[in-house]
Amino acid sequence: MTVPTHLPADALYHRCDPERFDFDTTDAIDDPCAIIGQTRALQSLHFGVAMEPVGYNLYVMGPPGMGKHSTVREYLQEKARERPTPPDWAYINDFDQPSRPRALRLPAGWGERLRQEMEHLLEELAAAIPAAFEGSEYRSHVQSIEDELKERQEQVFTRLGDEAQRHHIKLFRTPNGFAFAPLKDDEVVTPEDFQRWPEQEQRRVEEVVANLQEQLQKTIEQIPLWRKETRERILALNREVALSAVGHLIQEMEQHYAELPAVITYLEQVQKDVVENVKDFLQKGEDSEGQGHTAPTDLHRYKINVVVDHRKTEGAPVVYLDHPTYLNLVGRVDHIAQYGTLVTDFTLIRPGALHRAAGGYLIVDAHKLLTQPYAWEGLKRALYANEIRIESLEKMLSLMSTVSLEPEPIPLDLKVIVLGDRELYYLLYEYDPDFAELFKVAADFEGHIDRSHDNAGHYAQLIAGVARKERLRPFDRAAVARVVEHGSRLVEDADKLTTHLRSIADLLREADHWAKTERSRVVGARHVQQAIDHQIYRASRIRDHLQEEIRRNILFIDTAGARVGQINGLSVLSLGDFAFGQPSRITATVGLGEGSVVDIEREVELGGPLHSKGVLILSAFLAARYAQKQPLSLAAHLVFEQNYGQVDGDSASLAELCALLSAIGGLPIRQGFAVTGSVNQLGQVQPIGGVNEKIEGFFDICRARGLDGEQGVLIPAANVRHLMLKEEVVRAAAEGRFRVIPVARVDEAIAVLTGTPAGEADAQGNWPADSVNGRVMARLCEMTQLRQSFAEHGRDRHDDDPGEGEE
Amino acid sequence: MAEVECRVRRILLALDSSEDAVALEAAAELALGLQASLRGLFIEDVELLRLAALPFATEVSLGPARTRRLEVDRLERELKRQAERLRSRLALAAARHRRPWTFHVVRGNLLESIRTAAEAADLYVLGRPAGPARNGRRGGGPVLVLYDGTGAADHAIEAALALAAPGAQLLVVVPQEALERDMERQVHARLLAAGHPARLLSIRHAGPADLAAGARQQRAELLVLPEGEWLRDPSGLRRLLTEAVCPVVIAR
């Protein structure tokens, strides 16, 4: 087996040659673009938008910052222009059932027109009706009708009085009615005098009085009928007068809406209601019964509440709902406080985003939608029913049964586009059966693309697009090349480019800023580099603090010399959008035991399941390689020194295995190296994540202490294609002051680390005695024998001792 | 309301069980217009009580037109309640117009009681003793006033001007004999000074029957008269009150 050698400097960084671009600056690019590498997502989007059947709504997924929102919105706006503008909608009063306002459909832009015309009509009515009713003609007409009633009453009472007078009887008003009494000398006869009258005269008087009373009774019975008749005549007169004042105004308005039968019907109802309730327009008038009115009168019921107004909409609407609460989505009915109670009417109906987007497109963020109570349920209900029904949450949940408004539902023809991450998509698909029914199309945004020649060109187009859209300075070709390289670093793959638009756009903006501070008219590579460096600088306070702790020997990391059972592992810490590598000392100790490898992190519950898995694999590796002919008689302990937090992942398993082999075989490990990589049971080294950060993390420590050419990092061979290391590392490697060594097997790693060949087993399975494996094997045999001798000694003692339980 | 020279200090409102709300309202308005005090007088008509004592005395009630026995005790209780009701209404009207007021209840002959009480008043308002009840409504209808050239007639004109609503018609009735004495010019001058539009009518004889007929004919809301000898005739006053169909205001 050959000992692996370090990588050449050019393998540590995949450069982008600026000369491959045929432009000087991005200003020269004729076809800038806003997005790259999303062919699959865009085709899904086009398909979903084009599909008309119900349920073909879209879920656009991908991590935040991919440009989903702007891509979707721009595409929808383009498609929306080709579609017809949907109708306006207004809520109007239902004069028969005011608690159920009616929805009125109007051609686009006509809602506001109708509202204004109704306002104007009300103003006209408010002037015309009082004028008609305050006129002397009307008043004298009413007076005449009322006087007729008075005269009629007076006449019958006068006639009755005269009739009584003829019989020397007088009509009296009592507190509760009327009574008749016989007179003597123009005065009411006293009971004594009456008793003295002849019986015949008494009977005659009584009969006359009885007769008069009967006539009076009939008269009084007639009075309510006469009053009713008078009221009806006055009401009829009111209707006639009102109609003369209202009719021509309504007719004039009807001419404007001749082709809209629903509006004509509504105006007819308005006319009928105005005529029937004409007193509401009379500020200080009197009705037929002489009762004064209280002013001002509420004329709200004639208003038009335009809830969807497309006067300024060209094509179909595209609505993005930033705060998708249930009420913002489906609309609500507001209330106002009035004399200590909350009241409402149809003018307080407020539209939701569904109203505004009906006939077009609605864009919502999945996370926001799902975190708002009942918003998701409300959206699904509307999509299933194809209508927008405004219901309060209390009513929807049957929490309250208060009588309130029930606005007529508005038909819904809508394409909903939900933007979210993949996890939410799969959770919804798994747990909500309605989701698959209503969101049949998924548009999945790709996180990276191949770093091909063409795609590098597309990157240049994207940079040009962002620069023009955001009015940034043009980027020269070197700057573009540097952005391409950074695009690879962001996805940790020298052969890929990120499609994370926000990261790219942020970098471009910041590079532009640095160019501006330098008064440069063009953004160059140094400005891009300055932007990258400053991003790292802003985010690296904790990294710098930890590295300082290492330099001051508070955190123990050796970068020179050799130690048995001690190795430098590498981990990655992610804080926000910044990740950095951090060396950690891993130690292994061994003693006699039963073949166990104890992960101390796991014992104290600081190790995650993946880390534990890695350690268990080590046990399996040891058993498979060294315990074919004898049992493993060791007890090994592994620990991340000075670690006080959670450890997870298996990227330290190669380092742990090397430390363990060093401890068993008594072979010192060179501390100038750090190791990263996971191993499988067969000793193969597997790739890990964060390789660039890890290398740079150890490099920074070594550079701070002085690079001696003996330092470096062992990485899985499979990670070589991920290398996009920073300039200092590449330069140090080129100067032979730092090494990055790829390893494919654990034997390669231990050979480099110990400077001792790992050794290969011969046909009988024996290892060369001076090899790492040979020394490990020898030590394990020794431990097995020791253990066996202890066991035999123990058995002998046990045989000599009769023991308490044996007979 | 037209501004008038104020000489009236005391206004008497005399009502019986007919509860004439128009009369009450007119009295309150007069008190306000003339800045006078208001004296309410409720008369428990002895004739009505005598009627109730008759063995066959019955009354036909308003509303549901039913006949029931009229009893003295019950009538007295109802008259008391009515008086109390009237007192409250008078208090309310006086408070609304911020005028001083008093209220009294007397039992006696209606016209005699009025005449006695009127001695201490400058002007008295008489409700209608019989006939259908009237709602309290003022304004709009004409005020009919008799001008016979006496000093009381000047007071009557003042009262009529105070009662005539802005824009309402004031009808001044001048007896034929007064016209012959060139009273027309005097009344013209009087009305011109007041600045209220008025129409002059002539009447052959200023007796109760003619005045009542005139009030009915003109659909007058109020009839304002100067106190005269004829008013001392109980039957004349009774006839006027019964036939005029509106409250009568008498100036002294």
Contact assignment for A181 to B79 by CB distance below 8 Å = no
Distance CA B147, CA B186 (A): 10
B205 against A386, higher pLDDT: A386
**Residue that has been written with the tokens 């009755």 in this structure:** A160
How many residues are present in chain B? 252
HEC assignment per residue over A162-227: HHHHHCCEEEEECCCEEEEEEEECCEECCHHHHHHCCHHHHHHHHHHHHHHHHHHHHHHHHHHHHH
Contact assignment for B58 to A173 by CB distance below 8 Å = no
Where residue A418 falls among pLDDT bands split at 50, 70, 90? very high
Is A187 near chain B, with CB under 8 Å? Answer: yes
Sign, CA dihedral A660-A665-A667-A668, equals positive
A796 against A492, higher pLDDT: A492
Q: Could you give the residue ranges of the DSSP H alpha helices within A565-626? A: 600-603, 609-626
Per CB distance under 8 Å, which residues of B are interface residues toward A?
Answer: 16-19, 45, 47-48, 50-62, 65-67, 70, 75, 78-79, 81-82, 129-132, 135, 137, 140-141, 216, 219, 234-235, 242-243, 245
Sign, CA dihedral B175-B179-B182-B188, equals positive
Where residue A289 falls among pLDDT bands split at 50, 70, 90? very low
pLDDT value at residue B196? 76
Q: What residues form DSSP beta bridges with A713? A: A674, A740
A412, pLDDT greater than 80 = yes
pLDDT value at residue B166? 66
A796, pLDDT greater than 70 = no
pLDDT value at residue B112? 86
Where residue A287 falls among pLDDT bands split at 50, 70, 90? very low
Nearest to B129 among A173, A188, A213 (CB): A173
Q: C-alpha angle A476/A478/A484, rounded to 5°?
A: 105
Residue of A nearest to B137 (CA): A290
Contact assignment for A143 to B61 by CB distance below 8 Å = no
Where residue A570 falls among pLDDT bands split at 50, 70, 90? very high
Where residue A807 falls among pLDDT bands split at 50, 70, 90? very low
Check residue A475 and report its DSSP letter.
Answer: B
pLDDT value at residue B134? 53
3-state helix, strand, coil in chain A (%, to 5): 50, 20, 30
Q: What value does the mean pLDDT of chain A take? A: 90
- Contact B239/B127 with Cβ under 8 angstroms? no
- Contact A689/A715 with Cβ under 8 angstroms? no
End-to-end CA distance of chain B: 22
**Which residues 6+ apart lie within 8 Å of B112 measured at CB?**
B234
A801, pLDDT greater than 70 = no
B180, pLDDT greater than 80 = no
Query: Which position among A68, A79, A694, A726 bears the catalytic label?
Result: A694
Highest mean pLDDT among A80-89, A160-169, B146-155: A80-89
**Within a 10 A sphere around the Cβ of A698, how many other Cβ atoms?**
28
Per-residue pLDDT tens digits for A605-631 = 778 888 888 888 988 999 999 988 888
How many residues are present in chain A? 807
Contact assignment for B50 to A186 by CB distance below 8 Å = no
pLDDT value at residue A24? 95
**Residue that has been written with the tokens 């409504």 in this structure:** B137
Highest mean pLDDT among A145-159, A395-409, A712-726, A787-801: A712-726
- Contact A696/A580 with Cβ under 8 angstroms? yes
Sign, CA dihedral A313-A314-A317-A320, equals negative
Chain B positions touching A170 (Cβ under 8 A) are 47
Active site residue A694: yes
pLDDT value at residue B80? 93
A279, pLDDT greater than 90 = no
Is A220 near chain B, with CB under 8 Å? Answer: yes
Where residue B220 falls among pLDDT bands split at 50, 70, 90? confident
Q: State the average pLDDT over residues B239-249.
A: 81
A667 against A341, higher pLDDT: A667
Q: Could you give the residue ranges of the DSSP H alpha helices within A304-365? A: 326-330, 353-357
Q: Is the previous residue joined to A742 through a cis bond, with omega within 30 degrees of 0?
A: no
Residue A762 burial by CB count (10 A; 0-12/13-18/19+): exposed, middle or buried?
Answer: exposed
Distance CA B87, CA B93 (A): 10
pLDDT value at residue B4? 43
Contact assignment for B79 to A175 by CB distance below 8 Å = yes
Chain A positions touching B75 (Cβ under 8 A) are 174-175
Where residue B183 falls among pLDDT bands split at 50, 70, 90? confident
Is A192 near chain B, with CB under 8 Å? Answer: no
Rounded to two decimals, what is the model's pTM? 0.69
Per-residue pLDDT tens digits for A86-104 = 999 999 999 999 889 999 9
Residues 110-169 of A with CB under 8 A from B: 139, 143, 147, 150, 153-154, 157-158, 161
pLDDT value at residue B235? 76
Counting runs of H as helices and runs of E as strands, what totals does chain B give? 9, 11
A297, pLDDT greater than 80 = no
Residues 221-260 of A with CB under 8 A from B: 221, 223
- Contact A636/A598 with Cβ under 8 angstroms? yes
A384 sits in which H/E element:
helix A375-385
Per-residue pLDDT tens digits for A636-695 = 999 999 988 888 888 999 999 999 999 999 999 999 999 999 999 999 999 999 999 999
**Which residues 6+ apart lie within 8 Å of A474 measured at CB?**
A25, A26, A27, A464, A467, A521, A522, A523
Is A479 near chain B, with CB under 8 Å? Answer: no
Nearest to B17 among A173, A188, A206 (CB): A173
pLDDT value at residue B1? 39
Where residue B178 falls among pLDDT bands split at 50, 70, 90? confident
Q: How many CA atoms does the CB half-sphere of B145 hold within 13 Å?
A: 27
A753, pLDDT greater than 70 = yes
- Contact A304/A251 with Cβ under 8 angstroms? no
Lookup: tokens for A674: 């750090």
Residue of B nearest to A213 (CA): B60
Residue of A nearest to B242 (CA): A158
Q: State the average pLDDT over residues A428-433.
A: 94
B138, pLDDT greater than 70 = no
DSSP string of A50-113, one letter each residue: H--STTB-EEEE--TTSSHHHHHHHHHHHHHHHSPPPPEEEEE--SS-TTSPEEEEE-TTHHHH
pLDDT value at residue A285? 43
Contact assignment for A139 to B45 by CB distance below 8 Å = no
Most distant pair of Cα atoms in chain B: their distance: 59
Q: State the average pLDDT over residues A363-369.
A: 96
Give the strand pairing for A305-308 and A318-321. unpaired
- Contact A422/A62 with Cβ under 8 angstroms? yes
Distance CA A375, CA A26 (A): 44
- Contact A449/A396 with Cβ under 8 angstroms? no
Contact assignment for A157 to B131 by CB distance below 8 Å = yes
Give the residue among A178, A161, A410, A186 at the shortest CA–CA distance from A306. Answer: A410
Active site residue A279: no
Where residue B129 falls among pLDDT bands split at 50, 70, 90? low
Where residue A316 falls among pLDDT bands split at 50, 70, 90? very high
Q: State the average pLDDT over residues A734-742.
A: 96
Contact assignment for A194 to B55 by CB distance below 8 Å = yes
Lowest mean pLDDT among A94-108, A109-123, B109-123: B109-123
Distance CA A158, CA A215 (A): 12
Query: Which position among A651, A653, A678, A771 bears the catalytic label?
Result: A651
Q: State the average pLDDT over residues A154-175.
A: 85
